[in-house]
Amino acid sequence: MTGIDLDRAWDLHPQVSVRPEPFGALFYHFGTRKLSFLKDRRLVAVVQGLAQAPTARTACLAAGLGEGELPCYGRALAILAHSSMVVGRTP
């Protein structure tokens, strides 16, 4: 799977609830009833930072990721987008 467009604005889906856990976080989508376990705390920080960031790239960098890590995290965000956990922000 290829990554999402990191230069686009993304948000956590409004029907998704995030519950922090010692291992990372649980994401529950009330619309699809899908439960996801995120075990990477930096990915959790990226997703939680999407709403305040103008782009996904900015959210990644704010979470402390390096440029070399962006493709991997872009693919992880694409998986979350495919399951409707994150959605593209419309202007």
How far is Cα 4 from Cα 37, in angstroms, rounded to an integer? Answer: 20
* pLDDT of res. 14: 95
**Contacts of 43-52 spanning 24+ positions with Cβ under 8 A:** 43/73, 43/76, 43/77, 44/18, 44/20, 46/73, 46/77, 47/12, 47/18, 47/77, 47/80, 47/85, 47/86, 48/12, 48/18, 50/9, 50/10, 50/11, 50/12, 50/86, 51/11, 51/12
* pLDDT of res. 3: 85
* pLDDT of res. 90: 83
Sequential pLDDT tens for the chain (91 residues):
688 999 999 999 999 999 999 999 999 999 999 999 999 999 999 999 999 999 999 999 999 999 999 999 999 999 999 999 999 998 7
* pLDDT of res. 91: 72
Length of the chain: 91
0.85 exceeded by the pTM? Answer: yes
**Cβ atoms of residues 8 and 88 within 8 Å:** yes
CATH of 10-88, one of 3.40.228.10, 2.40.30.160, 3.90.930.70, 2.60.120.620: 3.90.930.70
The residue ranges of every structural domain in the chain are: 10-88
* pLDDT of res. 4: 92
